[in-house]
Amino acid sequence: MAEYRILFHPAALLEFRSLDGGVRAVVAKQLAKLAKFPYLGDLLGNRHGYDLTGYRKMYADRKRIHIVYSIVEDLVLVKIIAIG
């Protein structure tokens, strides 16, 4: 199985960089897991008036940090939408 490339949305990259060092390391470990197993996260749908169909979420740092992402199979890519 090919390893997926991680691509950050510009806002998600800013969110990632704004995390303190210890939390950033924990989130980076989760991102490394996503590169190998992108379907680990839970599917999102239409929640609270936001249509997030096609997106997934994964937790980091004891569920204090959410990682929202989508998978682009054609490009073998995991696109990180938000971290927070």
Percent of the chain predicted with pLDDT > 70 = 99
**pLDDT surpasses 90 at 84:** no
Query: Per residue in 24-78, pLDDT tens?
Result: 999 999 999 999 999 999 999 887 888 889 999 999 999 999 999 999 999 999 9
- Phi, psi values for residue 10, rounded to 5°: -55, -40
Helix (H, G, I), strand (E, B) or coil at 9: coil
Domain that holds residue 61: 5-83
Percent of the chain predicted with pLDDT > 90 = 80
Structure tokens at 29: 């470990």
- Number of domains composing the chain: 1
The predicted pLDDT at position 49 comes to: 86
The CATH number linked to 18 is 3.30.2310.20
pTM for the model stands at: 0.91
- State how far the Cα of 61 lies from the Cα of 43, in Å rounded to an integer: 19
Question: Dihedral (C-alpha) 6, 12, 15, 20: value to the nearest 10 degrees?
Answer: -10
